[in-house]
């Protein structure tokens, strides 16, 4: 089971990019957008100062759609992730992680906005985005072909909170077996991804079924995979999978890996000493290969596990304060494993 955004590419959220691309397409008009599209790089806005009126119209349209969702996510998503007092307040307000709760507002805004144009236009824009970010790709069709050669019976599911056009274009390029995406009726994130997987395979959880989840786990959205899968792998992750799961989890192994982009591999092959992308400074520090057994983990995390169990077994419902403390302890488990 493969996540898409920030997993297949380093630091790229293709679904979000589709929303910004559509703003430019509608704001400038199809003809003018076609002339300036190649100027789009990694930023959200596509500016054409040679045509200030068209640029002003485009910016006004974009701000009308995204000003409130952006401010809302900026507060409860980005600011709360950096300010501990605000994060604690967010847990009390949402009785859960404020970052994941805040995602719903921009996600629904994006899905409503995409309904203002045709599927044909969305697929065209999604294909442009896929091609533009090829240098940032860390998993490609050849990688999955190698996996199939090793395990011929494998089925690959590409699952994402991104919209249909984005996930279908990516799935076709990668050659996966199934794609799961978000709709207005169902945001495909967190536990919803597990629900979709159970609809596809009713043997999820059977001892004879091996399920490997691969994700960047940004924002902790896919951390719940560790409660359901036999193996999980976080790649290029700023928020790795926690090392503590519930006692009934089938999880056997947790892996963390750094995968290079196509551009990084090319630069390394050419002998560039600074071949790593500057964005990697925001990710969890990489290190040499480290293998820890169950006994190793118990020595490192035994005291932490006892604190988690004490909180989780407290009588009554989980409050925002308890949810916050559990989240902090889970994050500490990931950090201590890599210490």
CA–CA distances in Å: residue 188 to residues 133, 167, 213, 240: 23, 11, 15, 20
Banded pLDDT at 224 (limits 50, 70, 90):
very high
Report the number of distinct structural domains present in the chain.
Answer: 1
Is the model's pLDDT at 114 over the cut of 60?
Answer: yes
The helix (H) or strand (E) run that includes residue 181 is strand 178-182
281 — pLDDT class (breaks 50, 70, 90)? confident
Q: Which of 78-82, 190-194, 302-306 has the lowest mean pLDDT?
A: 302-306
pLDDT (tens digit, 9 = 90+) per residue, 202-217? 888 788 889 999 999 9
pTM here is 0.90
Percent of the chain with pLDDT over 70: 96
Q: Who has greater pLDDT, 244 or 130?
A: 130
pLDDT of residue 287: 57
At 108, the pLDDT band (50, 70, 90 cuts) reads: very high
Residue-number span of the structural domain to which 212 is assigned: 2-337
**Per-residue confidence band for 283, with pLDDT thresholds at 50, 70 and 90:** low
For residue 131, what are its two tokens? 């091609």
- For residues 241-249, average pLDDT: 87
Which of the four pLDDT bands, split at 50, 70 and 90, describes residue 330?
confident
Q: Mean of the pLDDT values across residues 44-54?
A: 87
pLDDT at residue 60 in the model = 94
- The set of residues, in sequence order, having a beta carbon less than 8 Å from that of 203 and lying 6+ positions away, is 209
Helix (H, G, I), strand (E, B) or coil at 130: helix
Q: What is the pLDDT of residue 320?
A: 86
Residue closest to 76 by CA, chosen among 56, 60, 97: 97
Cβ-proximal residues to 198 (8 Å cutoff; 6+ apart), any chain: 204
């Amino acid at each position: 089971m493969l996540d898409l955004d920030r997993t297949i590419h380093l630091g790229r959220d293709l679904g979000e990019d589709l929303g910004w691309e559509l703003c430019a397409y509608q704001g400038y008009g199809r003809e003018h957008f076609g002339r300036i599209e190649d100027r789009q790089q990694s930023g959200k806005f596509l500016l054409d100062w040679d045509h200030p009126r068209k640029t002003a119209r485009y910016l006004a349209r974009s701000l009308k759609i995204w000003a409130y969702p952006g401010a809302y996510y900026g507060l409860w998503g980005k600011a709360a992730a950096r300010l501990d007092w605000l994060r604690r307040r967010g847990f009390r307000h949402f009785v859960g992680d404020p970052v994941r709760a805040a995602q719903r507002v921009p996600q629904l805004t994006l899905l409503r906005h995409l309904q203002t144009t045709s599927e044909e236009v969305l697929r065209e824009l999604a294909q442009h985005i896929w091609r533009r970010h090829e240098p940032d790709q860390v998993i490609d069709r050849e990688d999955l072909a190698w996996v199939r050669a090793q395990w011929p019976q494998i089925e690959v599911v590409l699952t994402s909170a991104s919209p249909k056009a984005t996930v279908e274009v990516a799935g076709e390029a990668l050659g996966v077996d199934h794609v799961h995406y978000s709709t207005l009726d169902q945001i495909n994130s967190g536990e919803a991804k597990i629900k979709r997987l159970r609809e596809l395979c009713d043997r999820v959880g059977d001892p004879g079924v091996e399920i490997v989840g691969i994700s960047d786990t940004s924002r902790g959205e896919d951390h719940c995979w560790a409660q359901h899968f036999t193996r999980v792998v976080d790649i290029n992750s700023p928020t790795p999978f926690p090392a503590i799961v519930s006692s009934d989890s089938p999880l056997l192994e947790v892996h963390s890996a750094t995968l290079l982009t196509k551009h990084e591999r090319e630069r390394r092959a050419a002998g560039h000493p600074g071949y790593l992308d500057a964005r990697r400074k925001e990710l969890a520090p990489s290190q040499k290969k480290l293998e820890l057994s169950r006994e190793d983990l118990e020595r490192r995390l035994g005291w932490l596990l006892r604190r988690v169990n004490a909180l989780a077994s407290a009588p009554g419902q989980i409050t925002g304060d308890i949810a916050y403390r559990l989240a902090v302890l889970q994050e500490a488990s990931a950090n201590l494993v890599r210490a």
